[in-house]
Amino acid sequence: MNESLFFRSVFISDLHLGTRDAQSERLLEFIRNVECENLYLVGDIIDGWELRRNWRWSQAQSDVLQKILRKARKGTKVHYIIGNHDEFLRPFLPMVMGDNITIAHEKVHYALNGKRYLVVHGDMFDAVTMTKKWVAHLGDRCYLFLLRLNRPINTVRRWFGKYHYWSLSKMAKQSVKQAVSFITDYEEVLSSHADDGGYDGVICGHIHHAEIRVINGIEYLNCGDWVESCSAIIEHYDGRFEIYEHD
């Protein structure tokens, strides 16, 4: 991607910087080439869970943070919404850093289409994360293990001429969650919460599943992630919202 992309707002979540599987190079390419008035970091930006277990930080991950700070200095409004993996920041909220960086539990986005959107990571609406934290941590370890298997699996696939990336971890995660209706319940609970608060929609992350749809009259938008899908929610200058996939 060489040409600059111009959007009114960009929403990205689940970068998981500090993990081996963070797509830092692709993320850096995207951030370097995108220009926007508002940049929302919708939770799980820095993975405190993994850093406590095994400190791993690359130059590319430092470059991502430096590029975001540089955009803020040049006038982009950066809104950092805390998620469960970067919950170590929660005791210090809300926080303001300079003129253009805010860190908070949630934020209200006033869109060009005249609607109000609640921007929140979404972990507070995940019953497993909130009530059975050990299960959430165990699931996180299993997910990381499956991510590791993706590499040798795709190496073998390339030997047989199949160059399209295939993700065992993504397939397993979606299959398990669909089996317990997790995604549907999560989306409906979040949309209901936005409706109760008088919002027109909700923009979130957490479940690594990019989506835009209307649920009971409420717009539900999920940013996806930058571990596998490398996706974002973008707001165009004509008021449209769209899922962006970095390829």
For the chain, the residue count is: 247
Question: What's the CA gap between 220 and 213, in Å, rounded?
Answer: 5
- Residue range 191-213: mean pLDDT, rounded: 94
Indicate which CATH number applies to the domain containing 198: 3.60.21.10
Range of the domain at 93: 5-245
Percent of the chain with pLDDT over 90: 53
Q: Residues 6 or more apart from 216 whose CB is under 8 A from it?
A: 188, 191, 192, 195
Tell me what percent of the residues of the chain surpass a pLDDT of 70.
75
Side-chain-facing half-sphere of 8: CA atoms under 13 Å: 13
pTM of the shown model: 0.78
Q: Which residue has the higher pLDDT, 127 or 219?
A: 219
Would the pLDDT of 176 be above 60?
Answer: no
| Greatest CA separation for the chain | 54
Q: How confident is the model at residue 179 (pLDDT cuts 50, 70, 90)?
A: very low
pLDDT digits (tens, 9 = 90+) for 64-109: 999 999 999 999 999 999 998 888 888 888 889 888 999 999 999 9
Alpha-carbon distance of 52 to 41, in angstroms, equals 21
CA distances from 97 to 32, 214, 225 (A): 21, 35, 25
Pair type for strands 34-42 and 106-110: unpaired
Q: In this predicted structure, what is the pLDDT of residue 135?
A: 39
Query: Is residue 207 within 8 Å of residue 123, measured between CB atoms?
Result: no
pLDDT digit string, tens, across residues 148-174:
656 665 566 566 666 566 564 566 555
Report phi then psi at 117, rounded to 5: -120, 135
Rounded Cα gap, residues 201 and 217, in angstroms:
9
Domains: count for the chain: 1
The per-residue pLDDT for range 113-146, each reduced to its tens digit, is: 999 999 999 988 765 444 444 334 445 555 555 5
First and final C-alpha spacing in the chain: 8
